């Protein structure tokens, strides 16, 4: 069990160590901290977006131990000892990842709000299956809602990225 | 959206979890994947003062074949663990297929089989197929353990028979005499939709005659339900299109759906008629459970 301190109001704050994009962060947080808020507010990683906040839209998608999850439904406490990858972590240093490059090339976004989540879901798919079909891509991003594009360019971008892996 | 404050425990064993649950009683809630519970907490439908996270119970994350007996599914297997399990794909493909139809990839990566059962949502995808395959649920409490038939776990919408100090630790799917099984979900979209109706069937067919049948319906009553009259009707009948169609009619008479935002009761009743027939046909034709 992680160690904790109790504040004046009697609320416990717990020490957690969470791996994010290859670095380990030890922070003292309240138990009710959601992963999405931990990333955005404690680590200033605002690439992960808050959308519906109910697990429907996928804007907040991050990888937890390599698997895409909705960070709005995961307690940061439950990530203690786990590895999180956000949209920022997919980028390869200063260079864009091939999936990000192809999103730009195919204009696979308009407003861009769903893009971080789309890219995390797409990258997770390609890590597991480097030769996806059109259907595989659509299944993988079925939990990422885009209200602008109609998905056609997104699917094309992911399939194109797969060719250059 | 922020959650109200609560205390957090992450026990290292089932016994420790039961102890905590016994200690805190009604104030405590078990948290597994959170895909249902955290949403309920955000919507202020649940406000536990103590959250007991089962994240560290690694021993409950395995799918294992027990030779001659069946398949043991650890309570904390996620839906995608079931989809990707070679054991399930080989022994009980219909369960893996039902898991694949739940929500979307992100939710399948977090949502657990135990959560899908214990949250007792009438439209949940796994209970009907588990009931059709005569699966059992192992409940462990502070004072001991018990094993229940899957259909006996549910007490109403959002309600189960679990005591405050009990956790669901294992789902066991026994080796089958059934020769085929199938689950058909009807949702308003392919992904991320709750079942408007879910029909699961298992049949034992020998020489074109139905020896045994189990039919379980989801989203058409307060809990997942067996269609027992339909099962009785099917036993001893030859497999013909007329018999399967008649089974659908009987099943539609056995369900008690409500009208809600997703569908009217009349529509659901008619869907049960159609999908019972189709699920039976698939279970007979595909010839595997």
DSSP string, A23-47: EEEEEEEETT-BHHHIIIIIS--TT
Closest CA to B182 of B99, B102, B284: B284
The CA distance from B237 to B216, in Å, is 19
- Provide the residue range defining the domain that includes B44: 7-53
Domain boundary among B174, B192, B211: B174
Q: Which of A31, A50, A74 sits opposite B110 (nearest CB)?
A: A74
Give the pLDDT confidence score for residue A1 in this predicted structure: 56
Q: Which H or E element spans position B275?
A: helix B265-286
| pLDDT of amino acid A130 | 97
Residues in chain A within 8 Å Cβ distance of B39: 54-55, 73
In B51-134, which ranges are continuous DSSP H helix? 79-84, 86-91, 93-100, 105-110, 113-118, 126-132
Q: What is the CATH number of the domain that holds B86?
A: 3.30.465.10
CA–CA dist B49, A35 (Å, integer):
19
Residues of A in contact with B9 (CB under 8 A): 1
B4 touching A (Cβ < 8 Å): yes
Domain A98-163 has CATH 1.10.3720.10: no
Sorted by sequence, the CB contacts under 8 Å of residue B2 that are 6+ apart come out as A32, A34, A37
Distance CA B5, CA A76 (A): 14
The C-alpha atoms of residue B13 and residue A138 are separated, in whole angstroms, by 39
Q: How far is CA A6 from CA A29, B2, B15, in A?
A: 11, 20, 26
What confidence tens digit (pLDDT) does each residue in B16-34 have?
A: 999 999 999 999 999 999 9
Are B203 and B257 in a shared domain?
yes
Tell if the CB–CB gap between A31 and B6 is shorter than 8 Å: yes
How many beta carbons lie within 10 A of that of residue A91, not counting itself? 15
Instruction: Describe the crossing of helices A98-105 and A115-128 by its angle, rounded to 10 degrees.
Output: 130
B8 pLDDT above the threshold of 90: yes
- In chain A, residues with a C-beta closer than 8 Å to the C-beta of B8 are 12, 14, 31, 75, 77
Give residues with Cβ within 8 angstroms of A96, minimum separation 6: A104
Is residue B95 in some structural domain? yes
> How many Å apart are CA A152 and CA A150, to the nearest integer?
6
Does some domain include residue B2? no
* Residues of A with Cβ-Cβ distance to B20 under 8 angstroms: none
Q: Could you report the predicted ipTM of this complex, rounded to two decimals?
A: 0.96
Q: Does B101 touch chain A (CB under 8 A)?
A: no
> Which residue of chain A has the CA closest to B56?
A78
Q: Which H/E stretch holds residue A83?
A: strand A83-85
State the nearest Cα–Cα gap between A28 and chain B, in angstroms.
13
- Phi, psi angle pair for A7, to nearest 5°: -85, 180
Give which of B178, B100, B101 is closest to B135, Cα–Cα: B178
The Cα-based distances of A162 to A60, A121, A132, A165, B35 in angstroms read 23, 13, 7, 5, 30
pLDDT band at B288 (very low <50, low <70, confident <90, very high): confident
Q: Tell whether B119 and B72 lie within a shared domain.
A: yes
Q: Is the dihedral of CA B102, B106, B109, B115 positive or negative?
A: negative
What are the pLDDT digits (tens) for B93-124? Answer: 999 999 999 999 999 999 999 999 999 999 99
**Does B1 fall in a domain?**
no
Asked whether residue B64 falls in the same domain as residue B166, the answer is yes
Structural domain count, chain B: 3
B110 touches chain A (CB under 8 A): yes
- pLDDT at position A148 is 94
The DSSP 8-state label assigned to residue B213 in this structure reads E
Interface of B with A in 156-195 (CB under 8 A): 190-192
CA dihedral A78, A82, A87, A92 (to 10 degrees): 170
Place of tokens 């279970």: B283
Question: Tens of pLDDT along chain A (165 residues)?
Answer: 569 999 898 899 999 999 999 999 999 999 999 999 999 999 999 999 999 999 999 999 999 999 999 999 999 999 999 999 999 999 878 899 999 999 999 999 999 999 999 999 999 999 999 999 999 999 999 999 999 998 999 999 999 999 999
HEC readout, B144-164:
EEEEEEHHHCEEECCEECCCC
What per-residue confidence (pLDDT) applies to B198? 97
Residue range B257-282: mean pLDDT, rounded? 96
**Integer angstrom CA distances of residue B197 from B22, B183, B263:** 37, 11, 9
Q: Which of A55, A77, A140 comes nearest B39 by C-beta?
A: A55
CA distance, residue A95 to nearest chain B CA (Å): 27
Is residue B226 within 8 A of residue B151, CB to CB? The reply is yes
Residue ranges per structural domain of chain A: 4-90, 98-163
pLDDT for residue B190: 86
Q: Give the β-pairing of B136-141 and B144-149.
A: antiparallel
Task: Give A-chain residues touching B4 at CB under 8 angstroms.
Answer: 32
Distance of CA B287 to the CA centre of its chain: 22
Cβ partners under 8 Å of residue B261, min gap 6:
none
Closest CA to A12 of A39, A36, A32: A32
Give the model's pLDDT for residue B118: 97
- Find residue B218's DSSP bridge partners: B198
Residue B3 pLDDT more than 90? yes
Q: Is B44's Cβ below 8 Å from some Cβ in A?
A: no
Chain A interface, mutation test: which of B7, B19, B104, most A Cβ atoms within 10 Å?
A: B104
B97 and B22 fall within a common domain:
no
The answer to whether B178 touches B196, Cβ cutoff 8 Å, is no
Work out the number of other CB atoms within 10 angstroms of the CB of residue B95: 31
Mutate to test the interface with B, among A68, A121, A158 (most CBs of B within 10 A): A68
Supply the CATH number for residue B275's domain: 3.30.390.50
Its pTM stands at 0.96
Helix axes A115-128, A152-163, angle to 10 degrees: 40
In this structure, which CATH number among 3.10.20.30, 3.30.950.10, 2.60.120.200, 3.30.70.260 belongs to the domain A4-90?
3.10.20.30
- Judging contacts by C-beta atoms under 8 Å, the chain A residues touching residue B106 are 55, 58, 61, 68-70, 121, 143
Q: B58-105 pLDDT, tens per residue?
A: 999 999 999 999 999 999 999 999 999 999 999 999 999 999 999 999
pLDDT > 70 in chain B, percent: 100
Q: Give the tens place of pLDDT for each residue, B154-210.
A: 999 999 999 999 999 999 999 999 999 999 999 998 888 999 999 999 999 999 999
- Strand duo B50-53 + B7-9: pairing: parallel
Here the CATH number for the domain that contains residue B13 is: 3.30.43.10
Task: Calculate how close chain A gets to B137, using CA atoms only, in Å.
Answer: 25
- What's the whole-number average pLDDT of chain B? 97
């Amino acid at each position: 069990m992680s160690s904790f301190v109790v504040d004046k109001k009697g609320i416990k704050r717990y020490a957690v160590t969470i791996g994010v994009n290859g670095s380990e962060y030890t922070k003292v947080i309240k138990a009710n901290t959601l992963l999405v808020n931990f990333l955005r507010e404690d680590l200033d990683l605002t690439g992960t977006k808050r959308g519906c906040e109910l697990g429907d839209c996928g804007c907040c998608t991050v990888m937890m131990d390599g698997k895409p999850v909705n960070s709005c439904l995961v307690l940061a406490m439950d990530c203690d000892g786990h590895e999180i990858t956000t949209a920022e972590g997919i980028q390869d240093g200063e260079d864009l990842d091939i999936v990000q490059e192809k999103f730009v090339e195919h204009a696979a976004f308009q407003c861009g709000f769903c893009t971080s989540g789309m890219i995390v879901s797409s990258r997770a798919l390609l890590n597991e299956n480097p030769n996806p079909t059109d259907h595989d891509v659509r299944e993988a991003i079925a939990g990422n809602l885009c209200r602008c594009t109609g998905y056609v360019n997104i699917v094309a971008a992911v399939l194109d990225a797969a060719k250059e892996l | 959206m922020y959650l109200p404050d609560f205390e957090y425990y992450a026990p290292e064993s089932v016994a420790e979890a039961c102890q905590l649950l016994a200690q805190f009683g009604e104030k405590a809630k078990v948290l597994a994947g959170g895909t249902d519970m955290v949403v309920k907490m955000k919507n202020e439908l649940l406000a536990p003062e103590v959250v007991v996270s089962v994240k560290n119970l690694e021993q409950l994350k395995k799918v294992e074949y027990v030779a001659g007996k069946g398949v043991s599914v650890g309570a904390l297997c996620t839906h995608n663990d079931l989809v990707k399990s070679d054991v399930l794909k080989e022994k009980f493909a219909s369960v893996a297929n039902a898991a694949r139809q739940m929500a979307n990839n992100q939710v399948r990566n977090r949502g657990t089989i135990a959560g899908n059962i214990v949250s007792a949502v009438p439209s949940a995808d796994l209970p009907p197929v588990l009931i059709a395959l005569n699966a059992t649920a192992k409940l462990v409490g502070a004072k001991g353990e018990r094993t229940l038939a899957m259909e006996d776990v549910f007490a109403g919408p959002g309600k189960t028979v679990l005591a405050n100090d009990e956790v669901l630790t294992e789902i066991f799917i026994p080796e089958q005499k059934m020769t085929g099984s199938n689950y058909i979900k009807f949702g308003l979209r392919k992904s991320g939709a709750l079942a408007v109706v879910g029909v699961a069937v298992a049949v034992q067919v020998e020489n074109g005659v139905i020896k045994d049948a189990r039919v379980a319906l989801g989203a058409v009553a307060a809990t997942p339900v067996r269609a027992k009259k339909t099962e009785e009707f099917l036993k001893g009948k030859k497999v013909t299109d007329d018999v399967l169609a008649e089974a659908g009619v009987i099943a539609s008479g056995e369900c008690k759906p409500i009208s809600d935002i997703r569908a009217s009761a009349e529509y659901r009743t008619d869907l049960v008629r159609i999908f019972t027939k189709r699920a039976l046909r698939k279970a007979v034709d595909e010839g595997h459970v």
